A and B are shown apart, each in its own frame.
Chain A
Amino acid sequence: MEAAERARLEAAAKEIRKKTIDTIGFLGVGHIGGALSIVEVLACLYYKEMKTDPKAPRDPERDRLVLSKGHAGPALYSTLALKGFFPVEWLHTLNKGGTNLPSHCDRNKTPGIDMTTGSLGQGISAACGIALANKIDRKPVYTFAIVGDGESDEGEVWEAAMFAGHYGLDRLIAFTDANKLQIDGPTSEIMSVDGRPENGGPGGGSDLVAKYRAFGWNAERVDGHNVEAICAAIEAAKARASNPGRAAGTHAASGGGRPTMIVLDTIKGKGANFCEGMLGNHNMNFDYETAKKAIEALG
């Protein structure tokens, strides 16, 4: 990646991060931690990798995104607002009565939201359905999905992982936001779904990359705050995807490719000086002054 391109994406990520802190800070409470950990991947997707048109949010030829960890909605809303899907002023209506921006994503309320999510584990199943529909219709669109590491405690995530592997959904490119904290504590203490020994997990192939490979996916781990590494992983996944023009097929064994899981090594609350990496930042109260200072510190 050229330096200028990298700088452009990093600048986009900074804007998304500032807007996310502002959006939640204006309200005074919200899911700040898990919103800020996915800012870089959102910048890579919406400013480079995804085909989207803010003026035609339901364009059948667009790429789709399912934010399976639906509580991170404010980061996605900030991204969509900056991209022009709806007025930036909407961000200050977050969670207010009658808003188009509920805490958890709603496909019927917000332009650019492809799937209603919030009950953890469900979005990745829906993403499988979206990818399957487009595979059947032989449309060359990609379906992206962002899953949380805490969310991956849900059995449904693994049902979906089996399904995507079996049906060879190679245009499904998913991310796990491995920010290593869940509501009740570190994932290593609560449920070591990404069981790397360096995170205090049991090891022995219990980490997310090994797990997804075992389910028939391509999987790799990247620095989730490094836009260059994220884009490279997405582009590698795209390069592996099969030509949708060939027989829709059914499963990997009949010629379908493999879905891709990109595990994002991230820090929960990344970039907010009052809560970065802090236990308890999943859903927290902070006043607008604190938000403004954090935004100022980002420069």
Chain B
Amino acid sequence: MENKEMRAVYCDTLKSLAAADPRIMVLEADLMKASGTMPFKAAYPDRGIDAGVAEANMVGVAAGLASEGKIPFAATFGCFASRRDFDQFFLSGAYAKLPVKLVGTDPGVTAAFNGGTHMPFEDIGIMRNVPGLDIVEPSDAVSLEAYVRLLAASGKPAYLRLHRKAVEPIYKEGEKFELGRGKLLREGRDLVIVSLGALMTHEALSAAKLLASKGIEAAVIDALCVKPIDEKLILDWGRKTGAVLSVENHQCTTGLGGALAWLLAGRDGIRFDSVGIHDEFGEVGTLEYLQQRFKLTAGDIAAKAEKLAKV
């Protein structure tokens, strides 16, 4: 059976939630087709709102809806979700304590043919500045459905980074998830790779296999949540292995890498390195080209892991 597209999982989950809860709403800024939420609007015409190409107003409207008790999921490309409407999300949403769920799609290099203008390497970094915000990047269909449900029920604003395309499953149906908790996917004695998102978690698992063939046993943690980050799980495995490698499709300094560096600074001599974007803009190309260009492949992860493990 072909894997379902992540955006279809997003839409189906919201439809399922909306069937039982009239508060659930979907907002889009002329990207309903891209986000895959047309079926939501077809099922619930009054609750699927297209705000046109006007992201700032969309987020402001979402805040107004939330102040009336609605639970709005407002989506656009991650670059615009973060850069273009940050003030609206920050003030009308988070500062006002209104549960606006902002969804940024096409994380990092997955923006591919849309190129550098549309390639968010900074959205998580921007969002990490929002006090108390839940920031989540699921890695497969099962985790996506679980986190959409968790965010809908959280009563808080949130940023969800959404990979749109289909990916191989990581979790089995029925797996339980929590906000602020990651998942240990593989045990290992030599280092722990902490990955974020669908693209990089799959690459991290491939990297662990490559490393195993060289006799290096890497534990792998799927971070899932950047904020709050699962401090206990990551520190436990950092201490066990003595080395942590962060892996993300985002700027390292402000994303997962930044969160982990802050967590690990001065702790028990745990060694640390990061795979991700190092202070560069995005550019256009196929996903395969971009992963090589920005060193986001399993091979790149394995190479850094090998160095880190052998220090």
Contacts and interface: CB of A to CB of B under 8 A. Distances in A.
B62 interface: yes
B64 interface: yes
B46 A250 contact: yes
A130 B68 contact: yes
A132 B47 CA distance: 10
A260 interface: no
B96 A132 contact: no
B96 A129 contact: no
Nearest to B52: A162
Contacts of A162: 52, 54, 57
Q: Tell me the dominant secondary structure on chain A's binding face.
A: helix
B57 A159 contact: yes
Contacts of B62: 129
A125 B56 contact: yes
Contact of B64 (A106, A115, A159): A115
A60 B26 CA distance: 22
A106 B64 CA distance: 14
Contacts of A130: 64-65, 67-68
Interface string B60-94: 11111111111010000000000000011001100
B132 interface: no
B52 A163 contact: yes
A129 B68 contact: yes
B286 to A, nearest CB: 34
A133 B69 contact: yes
Contacts of A107: 67, 96-97
B67 A108 contact: no
A136 B47 contact: yes
Contacts of B87: 119, 122
A125 B47 contact: no
Interface in A119-143: 119, 121-122, 124-134, 136-137
B52 A122 contact: no
Contact of B57 (A137, A160, A248): A160
B113 interface: no
Given A107-B96, A128-B64, 14 more contacts: A66-B64, A106-B96, A121-B60, A122-B92, A125-B57, A125-B60, A126-B60, A126-B64, A129-B62, A130-B68, A137-B68, A156-B57, A159-B54, A163-B61
10 nearest A-B residue pairs (beta carbon): A129-B64, A125-B60, A133-B68, A159-B57, A116-B96, A126-B64, A159-B54, A129-B61, A129-B65, A130-B64
